[in-house]
Amino acid sequence: MDNFNINYRRILPHFQNIGATFFVTWRLFDSMPKDSIERLKSNWELKQINIKRQLKDKIEINKLLKEAEIEYWNSFEKYLDNIKYGSHCLKNPEVAQIVLEKIKSYDGKYYILEACCIMSNHVHVLLNFNIQIPENEEEFDIRKYVQLDKVLKYIKGGSSKEINKLLNRSGQPFWNEINFDRYIRNEKHFNSTINYIINNPVNAGLVINWEDYPYTYLRKIEPN
């Protein structure tokens, strides 16, 4: 799970975590009411203010701010698992299949798809971008590297176009534009993220065994 350490950041500082593995979550546009979003956001902002007000050590501040951000997004995900609000149109098998196939379509090209799960109003993916890094590091051309944000635009843009056509929708956004991503720090973090993704339908009470949920994917690792 080590990142590809390279000193391109001095030249192109917007390139970060090259070759990393990312846990990404995104949701439907209509998945949450505005007042709920504002409430969660206000709680997060208040926590940030209190952390900065109570501490002086920058390292400790940054650590707690990162923990507060993760807690903020975890509260979003917990909310999404339980909310009745919105269309939940990813329950539609045809819609969910479009999303799953679009995610799989870039597997082996821009990333290795380690795992994914399509819930009724949000999506989780674990994407390993190390596939874009050649074995011979001297052959690596950063200009050809396709970053996470661009790949997510391909997935979300392509799937929303197909889904809107299927549902005969027009003039309505399908996905919320905000994504939440975390890069995987180590093997323990990788394994816990896998467990979180595949067990999301289990914890939401949709199935007893994760294998029974049709829109969960876990990459099979062949034995050596």
> What is the pairing mode between strands 175-183 and 216-218?
unpaired
Residue 131 DSSP symbol: G
Q: What is the pLDDT of residue 11?
A: 34
pLDDT of residue 1: 42
pLDDT at residue 64, rounded to an integer: 86
Report, as ranges of residue numbers, the positions in the chain whose pLDDT lies below 70: 1-16, 222-224
- 3-state class (DSSP) for residue 116: strand
**CATH topology assigned to domain 7-30+87-218:** Alpha-Beta Plaits (3.30.70)
- For residue 46, the SS3 value is helix
Terminal Cα-to-Cα distance of the chain (whole angstroms):
19
Residue with tokens 């995900």: 77
| Model confidence pLDDT, tens digit, residues 88-101 | 999 999 999 999 99
Q: For the whole prediction, is pTM greater than 0.75?
A: yes
Q: Answer for the pair 197, 126: CB distance below 8 angstroms, yes or no.
A: yes
Rg (CA), the chain: 19
Partnered with residue 21 across adjacent β-strands are 128
Q: What is the pLDDT of residue 222?
A: 64
Name the nearest CA neighbour of 110 among 3, 18, 10.
18
User: What residue spans define the domains of the chain?
Assistant: 7-30+87-218, 32-85
> Looking at residue 16, what is its pLDDT?
59
**Which pLDDT belongs to residue 111?**
97
Q: Quick one: tokens of 5?
A: 């350490």
Query: What's the pLDDT at 152?
Result: 96
Question: CA angle at residue 190 from 186 to 192, to 5 degrees?
Answer: 120
Number of separate helices (H) and strands (E) present in the chain: 6, 5
